[in-house]
Amino acid sequence: MKVNKTENSDILIILISLIGYILIFNFYVNMTITNSNSLNSELNSIFQSSDIQISSLNALIITISSITALLIATIYFLINKFLLNLLHIKITSSKLILTVLIASMPCPLLCCIASSLFNIDLMNNVLRIIVSLLEPLLMAFLLKDSFKNKKSYVIYSTILLVLAIGSTLTSNLLK
């Protein structure tokens, strides 16, 4: 089985991006827990006794947020793959994976920066809606070259925006 150099470099770039995405997502989750007074006080009251329990709690949070990051990226990849196939847009899986990871990275970082600079709670609905709209816009922008037809590009961008708005509003209603 012979693998050429471009496939190896694609795999390496994807792995580095995946690690970066997981680290950023973990940073976002930790900042959310730290900045949310009610969540932080609940966790502190549950795990007050020893350092061993607190370190195991941190390991559990990192594990759960890493798995969540992978699930979110996988679901986002599958949705985009389905939409692109539906619109008859040919794109390699490695390019789509990389684009999904790159488009997903700035959103948690922007939330953390806005929270730090403007002292906004990371659970703020307005902040979450604004940032959640950036991801599909960035995704559509990064894949713009793959579209030969402007109509397909507009349809794709619109569907991504509608899905982002719908998922954000649904998560806000479920709180």
pLDDT, one tens digit for every residue, the chain (175 residues): 455 555 666 677 778 888 888 888 887 777 776 666 666 666 666 666 555 566 677 777 788 888 888 888 888 888 889 988 888 888 888 888 888 888 888 777 777 777 777 777 666 667 777 777 888 888 888 888 888 888 989 999 999 888 888 887 777 676 6
Q: What is the pLDDT of residue 1?
A: 46
Structure-token pair, residue 2 = 């012979």
**List of residues 6+ apart from 129 with CB closer than 8 A:** 165, 168, 169, 172
Q: What is the largest CA-CA distance in the chain?
A: 61
Cβ pair 153, 117 in contact under 8 A: no
Q: What is the pLDDT of residue 124?
A: 64
Number of domains the chain contains: 1
How far is 119 from 174, CA to CA, in rounded Å?
25
Identify the helix (H) or strand (E) that includes residue 8.
helix 5-35
pTM, 2 dp: 0.73
Cβ pair 132, 162 in contact under 8 A: no
Total Cβ atoms within 10 A of residue 10? 17
Q: What is the pLDDT of residue 40?
A: 61
Q: What is the pLDDT of residue 7?
A: 62
Q: What is the pLDDT of residue 134?
A: 84
How far is 76 from 82, CA to CA, in rounded Å?
10
CA angle 102/108/110 to nearest 5° reads 95
Range of the domain at 153: 5-174
How far is 144 from 136, CA to CA, in rounded Å?
12
**List of residues 6+ apart from 92 with CB closer than 8 A:** none
How far is 21 from 106, CA to CA, in rounded Å?
9
